[in-house]
Amino acid sequence: MTVVELFEQKDLFETRLMEKINNRHYEPYIYTYPPKGAFRPNTDSEKVQQSWRTVRGPISLYLHIPFCEMKCSFCTLFTTVNQPKELIQTYVKALEKEFEISTTLMKTSSITVNSIYFGGGTPTLMTFEQMGGLLKRIKNKFRLSENAEIGLEGAPNSIGDEKIREIQELGFNRLSIGIQSFDETLLRNMGRHYGAALGIETIKKAVKAGIPNVNFDLIYGIPGQTFGQWKAHLETAVQFGNKTITIYPLVVRDRAAYGKKYKIAPEKFLTPEEGQKWYDFTLDYLEQNDFSQHTLVTFARRGGGNQHEENEFRGLPTLGLGAGARSYTPNFHYTNDDYFEPMSNQKVIERYLAVLGGGRIPVFSGVSLDEDETKRRYFILNLLFKGVDERDYLDRFDEAPEETFGYAIYVLRKNGFMEQKNLQLNEEGKKFSSVIGACLFSEAVQKLNIRYK
């Protein structure tokens, strides 16, 4: 790259970054790269096979359980509601089959599993036998690392005393509870069919039972929520003795119920300026109560956090199983879903079951990573997490990070977003981490991503 090209790149990056920040244009939470919008139709199963053949060392497993009892107003996740138990059983059998097919592509004796995550949806709707059967297959096929995280998500109304006992017996050491709000009215507004007391009681029971890492999610910026209510939420949140809290700003997507409400009455939602003030207050309050910030949304006391999320930021390969799961190999990311020309979740599940019934890997869209995108993925994700390890980057790519990303490093330090002595965002930079990450997307990915809503 010439000096002229370097200055042009620096100016373009700085202009784009500061325009977004000054105009309060905040990006959705970035936890992977390339994003969904970069995926395109792809049914090349040979590409999938080739991408796993050279994988060695630590990986993560993600199992997607898309079933819920209700559809929340904020939710744009791949979920479906009120499905019969028979369909859930059929789906679990398909997960087992997908696992068996996928692992034939790998040198399993050279792979260690660092984390297993049951996401959703509401995985706690599964029975003891269903969860146990999946875990048994994984443990029979792979060696788990000594401190492997085995986690799952669930809603309060699906985590009773018996479910907590099952979770412990099966060896889950992380439970993430989708609380979202401690306020009765706000819960009803977001489509929850139970009261706030149930969420509080569920957290207390999980902590008392001794599950090592109990997390719960909260959302701020819900229509009708006041700052006083949010402050009260935080005051409640720090009292349970659990180790992790995940704090999400409400993201308004066209496909969610709140997206439709926003078009009718945007004044009922937080402005970007208000959202930033709430976020700043949240950071200060949690820090005062012994929670440190791990990512833009994850806060933890000693012994807490999210190993699976950390693995994603570190760029570990991930085997994703299920209709809405994504798999990440070093040079190819793929899914059974189609983000560019989406069909209903129900039809995606039906297609997933049909393809596995034919004994094939269910892949319908994906994105390939060339050398530049591989470097960019590593730089973006590590920068947004704990910082870029310059020695590790040099060992991986045989060049210093400055050779490719010197323009961004210069701009971030100049504007007070990055530490001067290492490649790590400071507290101010973490506030804008998703904006910084989005501005580091390659031109090709930015063009592909622009249509995704």
Report how far Cα 214 is from the mean position of its chain's Cα atoms.
17
> What's the full length of the chain, in residues?
453
Residue 221, SS3 per DSSP: coil
The predicted model gives 110-121 an average pLDDT of 96
Lowest mean pLDDT among 3-12, 75-84, 139-148, 154-163: 3-12
Torsion on CA atoms 355, 361, 366, 368, rounded to nearest 10: -160
pLDDT (tens digit per residue) in 343-379: 889 999 999 999 999 999 999 999 999 999 999 999 9
Residue 79 reports pLDDT greater than 60: yes
Q: How far is CA 90 from CA 85, 97, 237, 349, in A?
A: 9, 11, 38, 11
User: What is the pLDDT at residue 75?
Assistant: 81
How much is the pLDDT for 5? Answer: 64
Predicted confidence at residue 374, as pLDDT, reads 97
pLDDT tens per residue, range 231-241: 999 999 999 99
Query: Is residue 452's pLDDT more than 70?
Result: no
pLDDT band at 253 (very low <50, low <70, confident <90, very high): confident
The pLDDT of 404-421, averaged and rounded, is 96
Instruction: Say if residue 172's pLDDT is above 60.
Output: yes
Q: What is the pLDDT of residue 290?
A: 96
- Minimum mean pLDDT among 129-138, 246-255, 421-430: which range? 246-255
Stretch 178-201: mean pLDDT: 92
Q: Is the pLDDT of residue 418 over 80?
A: yes
Nearest CA-CA partner of 324 in 349, 361, 350 = 349
pLDDT at 430 over 80: yes
pTM for the structure as a whole:
0.94
pLDDT bracket for residue 2 (50, 70, 90): low
Mean pLDDT of 41-55: 89
pLDDT digits (tens, 9 = 90+) for 87-99: 999 999 999 999 9
Percentage with pLDDT > 90 across the chain: 77
Residue 152: phi, psi to the nearest 5?
-150, 160
**pLDDT-derived band of residue 4, with 50, 70 and 90 as boundaries?**
low
**Can you give the pLDDT at residue 176?**
98
State the pLDDT at residue 65: 97
Give the separation between CA 148 and CA 58, rounded to whole angstroms: 10
pLDDT digits (tens, 9 = 90+) for 259-318: 888 888 888 889 888 998 999 999 999 999 999 999 999 999 999 999 999 999 999 999
Higher pLDDT, 193 or 166: 166
Instruction: Give the span between the Cα atoms of 65 and 85, in whole angstroms.
Output: 13
Using the predicted structure, report yes or no on whether residue 1 has a pLDDT greater than 60.
no
Q: Point out which residues pair with 236 in neighbouring strands.
A: none
**Which residue has better confidence, 168 or 431?**
168
Percentage of residues of the chain with pLDDT beyond 70: 98
What is the DSSP code (8-state) at residue 29? P
The CATH class given to the 41-313 domain equals: alpha beta
Supply the pLDDT for residue 6: 65
SS3 418: strand
Q: Where do the domains of the chain lie?
A: 3-34+382-449, 41-313
23 band by pLDDT with thresholds 50, 70 and 90 = confident
Please choose, from the candidates 447, 399, 432, the residue with its C-alpha nearest in 3D space to the C-alpha of residue 27.
432
More confident residue, 27 or 445: 445
pLDDT band, very low/low/confident/very high, at 8 (cuts 50, 70, 90): confident
For the chain, give the mean pLDDT: 92
Give the per-residue pLDDT at 138. 98
Average pLDDT over residues 90-109: 96
